[in-house]
Amino acid sequence: MAEERTGGRTALHELSVQEAGMLLRSGELTSVELTRHALDRIALLDPALHAFIQVTEETALRRAAVADRDLRAGRDRGPMHGIPYALKDIFDVAGVPTTNASRLRADRVARADSTVERRLQAGGGVGLGKLTTFEFAIGGPSFDLPVPPARNPWSEQHVPSGSSSGSGAAVAAGLVRVTVGSDTSGSTRGPAFHCGAVGLKPTYGRVSGHGAWTLSQTMDHFGPLTWTVADTAAALRVIAGADPADPRTADIEVPDYTAALDRGVAGLRVASSPGWYAEDPMTMPEIVTGVEQALGVLDSLGARVEQVTLPPYEVFNACGRVICAAEAFSNLEDDLRRHPRSFGRYTYQRVMPGAGIAASDLMRAYEVRRRLTRQLDETVFDRHDVLITVCGQTTAALWSDFPADWPPPKLANDMQTIPFSVTGHPALSLPIGFAANGLPIGLQIVGRAFEEATVLRVAAALEAELGQRHRRPPEPDNTGTGA
């Protein structure tokens, strides 16, 4: 048994990328064994979780066998070599449908790989399949789509957030340790926060979106959602970098993100701004306390923590909503005109307001974004290395919080992720514990543009002090009869 090869101490799905990689390179474990274990776990647990839209079992086992042969021949392709991963179903994989969880794309089979998929394959990774998403990465946790919505592994009564909902559920449940999703206003950080995982929105332009669905050209970001900070660092090293096929990407050197994880935080300057959340009655006290505890940890480890005053959150939010709505409507306009009844109700209701945004309004929003980005740099990053703030104000929402029509009144402002999608700064959701209701809580670490390495360094220090990587959700039954 593969588990016996790890000394009987750690189940295969609990191994980090680095731990699994060491066993693969030593010959104590094979990628085929690791992949088969993941596929068996998906078969056992996913009927209740609905994290996967499609599992590519045959291809996965074939690529795992190739990864094993390469290692035996001395060809090591990097940190993801032989490691299973899965992609949000907005990324193209040649020969596999990219459905966007929509009737409108149910029969669309990709002709070529997205850049993210191509780089993961070139790095020796083993793709397991496609993960559930909100329709077109914007809809909502809908039951009127061709695939059922993903469930939160911590509680079947709660939503895993979105739009990278399958990614959050799959990672938390131990179906896969590395996924890649998209984040336009919080679609990676939200599921990570609500499922107790690590979700990184890299700097705008750090990771290519070629071959991925475009929701909002100027706000889409693409990045890893994983079980540990080190897993995120390993995955980002493989997928990051300039791409001639995507003019949004920046030709900036990609560092070894794992190299600085153990450097600690002594001497770093940390900004906090509780004005956004601490006095808001919607923010759970456990989250405020958790952020304060994390700041205390950083101070005790030698970082210098200072409070700053940020521009009003509402301005960031309004700016981002205008831009996203206008650009999303532009990208879906033809389908909206030709096939309006083929959309899920939430998707239609979220995208249609973009039809009423005038060009002059959009131009003003772009100008506000430039001003907000400049203000954030001047207020925070001219003098500080990172900003610590909340990621979400409450734990995962109940399914019953979602009425027939969007928006749900109880969820008006529960996430605080959109500001950094507006400005493009790298931002990471890090789990730091659990609320009294047993659901995960976390915080958000924001850094200077293209300084993901510093964000990951701070996250690794906090994870070592506050993380509970040993704690998994209870395994659901596999009858698929949840709420």
Q: What confidence score (pLDDT) does residue 475 get?
A: 84
Q: What confidence score (pLDDT) does residue 1 get?
A: 36
CA gap 420, 89 in Å, rounded: 24
**187 in catalytic set:** yes
pLDDT in tens, 445-483: 999 999 999 999 999 999 999 977 789 999 866 544 444
Judge contact between 349 and 405, C-beta under 8 A. Answer: yes
DSSP string covering 199-253, please? EEE--TTSB--TTB--S-TTT-EEEEEESSHHHHHHHHHHHBS--TT-TTS----
Q: What confidence score (pLDDT) does residue 478 get?
A: 58
CA gap 305, 7 in Å, rounded: 42
Kindly state the average pLDDT of the residues 319-338: 98
Sheet-wide strand order for 386-389: 52-55, 126-131, 84-88, 178-183, 221-226, 198-201, 427-434, 440-447, 386-389, 269-272, 304-307
Task: List the structure tokens of 447.
Answer: 């850094």
Kindly state the average pLDDT of the residues 370-390: 98
Q: Which CATH number fits domain 2-307+380-466: 1.10.10.10, 3.30.70.1520, 3.90.1300.10, 3.40.190.10?
A: 3.90.1300.10
Which residues lie closer than 8 Å to 371 by C-beta, 6 or more apart?
none
Q: What φ, ψ does residue 115 adopt, rounded to 5°?
A: -60, -40
CA gap 220, 204 in Å, rounded: 8
Which residues lie closer than 8 Å to 334 by C-beta, 6 or more apart?
none
Three-state secondary-structure class, residue 275: helix
Judge contact between 48 and 479, C-beta under 8 A. Answer: yes
CA gap 170, 226 in Å, rounded: 9
pLDDT in tens, 278-316: 989 999 999 999 999 999 999 999 999 999 999 999 999
* Residue whose tokens read 């456990």: 286
Q: What confidence score (pLDDT) does residue 477 get?
A: 65
Amino acid at 119: R
Kindly state the average pLDDT of the residues 327-331: 98
- Asked whether the predicted pLDDT for residue 141 surpasses 70, the reply is yes
**DSSP designation for 121:** H
The mean pLDDT value of the chain amounts to 95
* Long-range contacts of residues 139-142, Cβ cutoff 8 Å, at least 24 apart: 139/101, 139/163, 139/343, 139/344, 139/346, 139/347, 139/350, 140/344, 140/346, 140/347, 140/350, 140/402, 140/406, 141/165, 141/399, 141/402, 142/344, 142/345, 142/346, 142/347
Task: List the structure tokens of 325.
Answer: 């709505």
Compute the Cα dihedral for 115, 40, 440, 146 and give only its sign: positive
- Asked whether the predicted pLDDT for residue 92 surpasses 60, the reply is yes
Q: Among residues 16, 31, 88, 130, which one is catalytic?
A: 88
What pTM value is reported for the model?
Answer: 0.96
Q: Among residues 167, 182, 187, 273, which one is catalytic?
A: 187
CA gap 41, 166 in Å, rounded: 15
Kindly state the average pLDDT of the residues 45-55: 98
pLDDT in tens, 390-441: 999 999 999 999 988 888 876 645 899 999 999 999 999 999 999 999 999 9
CA gap 16, 22 in Å, rounded: 10
> 9: pLDDT confidence band, cut at 50, 70 and 90?
low
- Asked whether the predicted pLDDT for residue 6 surpasses 70, the reply is no
pLDDT in tens, 52-88: 999 999 999 999 999 999 999 999 999 999 999 999 9
Q: Which of 364, 374, 390 is nearest to 425 (CA)?
A: 374
Q: Among residues 114, 142, 163, 272, which one is catalytic?
A: 163
The domain segmentation of the chain, as residue ranges, is 2-307+380-466
CA gap 442, 416 in Å, rounded: 12
